[in-house]
Structures are given as structure tokens and as C-alpha cells.
Amino acid sequence: MALVRQLYSGTDFRRALSIEELRAVARRRTPHFAFEYVECGSEDEVTLRHNRSVFESIRFIPDTLVDTSNRHQRTTLFGREMSTPLIIAPTALNGMQRYRGDIALARAAAAIGIPFTLSTFSNVRLEDVQTGAGGRLWMQLYLMKDRTIARDIIRRAAGAGYEALVLTSDANVFGFREWDRRNYRQPGDLTLRNILDVACHPRWILDVLFPHGVPRFENVVDFLPPEARSARAGVAYLPGLLAPDITWEDIRWLRTEWSGKLILKGVLNAADAKQAADLGCDGIVLSNHGGRQLDGSVSPMDVLPEIARAAGDRLAIIVDSGFRRGTDVIKAIALGAHAVMVGSATLYGLAAGGEAGVRHALGILSGEVDRVLGQLGCNSLRELGPHLLR
Ligand SMILES: Cc1cc2nc3c(=O)[nH]c(=O)nc-3n(C[C@H](O)[C@H](O)[C@H](O)COP(=O)(O)O)c2cc1C
């Protein structure tokens, strides 16, 4: 009898050996519309696919016969140690994967000693993430037409001891994720087919919807008109609040308002990286928003070497979009990144197993990083470089 290769087909996240397998568990546990929200890219998903295929075009040339028995993957970012070069990326609506998903993600990050970034559009207030999880917290900021919302978030994040403010610059003209949109008759209003699919996920309903109902955009809810405060209405309302007129002037302004670390997320060229450094940013995230914004854009991996050359000595260079393996992380560090943000990988863990599932995801990735370091003949991240790649 010929045996067919197949991923684990159950719902126990602990059985997942890779992020791809964790994704399969997440898919089974989550209603289609909530899984698709994480999964899909914009328009034809060209960038989404390229974010993965770019890693296959980079190969390793390992050193052999090196004693790597004392290898480690610790690193420092902004003068503070991290157990592994990973950061959890800001993602909106984490409460649709698990009840108070933001706290689960932050707790898992704190447990292994890496930063967690909270989205402006989170389902838990930033103060509650601080009290519920602690650890090293970064606050992501979307600038809206009404800048008093940003002022409020900045003041509160400073009060709650957030280490960094991460301004996202690539989503103020909102990407159109057609596969996400197809699950709704109109924004916020699921199709009948999707409503029936939700009914087939009683465990998800019990965890996410009972007894509090659909999670709200807690960080900004006070600024929404009463009719837009529910998550259903908010989904349709919030993109219209984003300011399409953000410019470098806003970086100048934020630099005066925020005394912590300032990070610009959404940079994809060297001129912008230099400008960010000139205006006092402490770091940048090279990102195409996980393929969710401009379809057809380059992967951060395509431009990482030139940006690292241009600004790597003045800025922390963080990279995201498409990272699913330790090999991906190692390739980015070898090309000049200081750390890697993961969005979907830890969300699969969250959907599959809550906080323990996120820890499992981080364990898979850091286990792979450790193995790759050893197989390359390296004892630390410092020894990585382009000489190990082709
Ligand atoms: C479900 C989801 C929601 C996201 N929401 C935000 C957000 O609120 N703010 C933001 O700056 N980026 C957001 N992003 C982009 C991530 O911060 C990150 O750039 C992206 O997930 C990296 O790609 P990856 O998912 O392949 O790891 C979101 C991504 C996903 C998957």
C-alpha cells in the first residue's frame, strides 16, 4: 500500500512540527472568515506568494568541521537582550482568533524575552496588555485624520511604559484584500454561507463570542461615533479614518511627542531609510505588510542588502513579511537585518492553541534557528554574513 504524505490532521497544536502544520491546525479550529482575514493578501496576491518564494532563491554555503556545541541565538536590540532575534508584529483583530488574543501573544513574547507589538486596532486596551502580560511592549500607530487619536495613544503608551512607538506608513491607503471581502455581503456583514460555517465551530464561538460578543477596537473605541463602536461596524468605518496625507512632517512631529524608541514600519528603499535616520528614528521595519497592501511590491528580502548598507549603522533594521522558518530568519540576519518580525506565524499559534500555541510557534522558529546556526558552522548570530549565502 502506498502511503500518502500528509500533515497532521488533528486539532492538537502540540503535534505541529512546523509553522505550516500549525497553520493547518489553526485552519481547522477557526471559521473560514476569521482564518481568511489572517491568510489573504491584496488583489492577485502576487506579493504574498513572492514573500515566500524569495527565500527559496537564496541558498546556504555552510562552513564544515566547526565546533558549534556552545552556539546561542541571543542578541541585543536597543541595548536590551533578546533570547532570539524575533519580535511579534502588530496585527489587528487578534481577538477574532482567541478571546483577549493580544494578551496571549504578549505573554508568550514576555515568556521567552522578546518584544510584542500591539496594533492600534487591537481588541484589548494598551493598558490592559501591560497589566495582563508585562514584558517588552511596543505600540504600533496608525495616523488618522484626527491627530488627537494619536496624541491620546502616545500619551497612554508612554504612561504604560511602552518601549517603542512603531508608525506604520504603508497602509493609510488601505489595501483591497478581495478574498477577505468575499466573505461579506457588505463590510461587517457575513454572507449566509459564512454564518453557517461559524455555526460549525462551536468551540470558537464559546471562546471568542461568549459572553462578551464580537470583540471591539478597544484602543480607539472612545473616538468612534456610537454607531461605529461594534467591531462589525468598526471594520467598515475605520479605514475611512486613516489619513492618506501622512508625510515626513509627521515623523518630525512624532519625534517631538514621543521620547521612547521611534520605529518606522513600511520602508522599502534606501533613500527612505536614510531619511528616517536623519529625522531621528531609532529603527525601521522593512515590510510590505505581509503582502496585504501594494500588490506587486518587492519583498523586503530583495532590498535588505542595499538598505542595510545605506543605514544599518544608524538604525535598527527589522524585517518582516513571509517569515515561516528558521532558515528564513537566518538568511535575513546574514543579509544585514538585526531582527525579524513575525505576524502570521504566531497568529497561527494563537488560533491553534492560545498562549500555549503562540509559545509553540516561537519554539518551532527558535528551534529551527538553533539548528541552522549549527548546520552552518556558526556559534552566534554575529558570525552570519553574506559569505554563507548564494
Ligand atoms: C491579520 C493581520 C493583521 C495585521 N494588522 C496590522 C496592523 O494592525 N498594523 C500593522 O502595522 N500591521 C499589521 N499587519 C502586518 C504585520 O504587522 C506584518 O507586517 C505582517 O504580518 C508580516 O508578514 P507575515 O504575516 O508574513 O509574518 C497585519 C498582518 C496580519 C496578518
Instruction: Kindly give the confidence (pLDDT) of every residue in the chain, 390 residues in length, as a single tens digit, with 9 standing for 90 and above.
Output: 788 999 999 999 999 999 999 999 999 999 999 999 999 999 999 999 999 999 999 999 999 999 999 999 999 999 999 999 999 999 999 999 999 999 999 999 999 999 999 999 999 999 999 999 999 999 999 999 999 999 999 999 999 999 999 999 999 899 999 999 999 999 889 999 999 999 999 999 999 998 888 899 999 999 988 888 887 788 888 888 998 899 999 999 999 999 999 999 999 999 999 999 999 999 999 999 999 999 999 999 999 999 999 999 999 999 999 999 999 999 999 999 999 999 999 999 999 999 999 999 999 999 999 999 999 999 999 999 999 999
What is the residue with the minimal CA distance to atom 11 of ligand 1? Answer: 168
> What residues are in contact with ligand 1 under a 6 Å CB criterion?
37-38, 51, 89-92, 119, 121, 140, 168, 265, 287, 289-290, 292, 320-323, 342-345
| Cα of 64 from ligand 1 centre, angstroms | 38
Short-list 168, 173, 389, CA closest to 284: 168
- Report the pLDDT value the prediction gives residue 2, as an integer from 0 to 100: 82
The C-alpha atoms of residue 284 and residue 297 are separated, in whole angstroms, by: 18
Grid cell of 263 as nine digits? 520605529
Give the per-residue pLDDT at 135. Answer: 97
Q: State in Å: Cα 35 to ligand 1 middle.
A: 14
At residue 262, the pLDDT reads 98
Nearest ligand 1 atom, CA 39: 31
Residue in 48, 105, 289, 362 to alter for ligand 1 test, most ligand atoms within 8 A of Cβ: 289
Ligand 1 atom at minimal distance to the Cα of residue 121: 8
Ligand 1 atom at shortest distance from the alpha carbon of 289: 19
What is the reported pLDDT for 3?
86
Instruction: Show Cβ contacts of residue 76 under 8 Å, excluding neighbours closer than 6 positions.
Output: 82
HSE, side-chain direction, 13 A CA sphere, residue 126: 30
- Scanning the structure block, which residue is given the C-alpha cell 500500500? 1
Q: How far is the CA of 308 from the centre of ligand 1 (A)?
A: 22
Cα separation, 162 vs 274, in Å, equals 25
- pLDDT of amino acid 229: 85
Q: How far apart are CA 332 and CA 324, in angstroms?
A: 12
* 212 is annotated as an active-site residue: no
Q: How far, in Å, is the centroid of ligand 1 from the Cα of 41?
A: 10
CA 30 from centroid of its chain's CA atoms: 19
**Ligand 1, closest atom to CA 117?**
17
Which residue among the candidates 72, 201, 289, 360 is catalytic per the annotation? 289
- The beta strand positions in 31-174, using DSSP E, are 75-77, 80-82, 86-88, 116-118, 137-141, 164-168
Residue 148's pLDDT is 94
Quote the ligand 1 centre to 34 CA distance (angstroms). Answer: 14
What's the CA dihedral at 383, 384, 385, 390 to 10 degrees? 140
From the number of C-beta atoms within 10 Å of its C-beta (0-12, 13-18, 19+), residue 208 rates as buried
DSSP, collapsed to helix, strand or coil, labels residue 383 as helix
- Rounded alpha-carbon distances, angstroms, from residue 233 to 67, 184, 190, 215, 383: 58, 12, 12, 11, 50
Q: Which residues pair with 230 in a beta bridge?
A: none
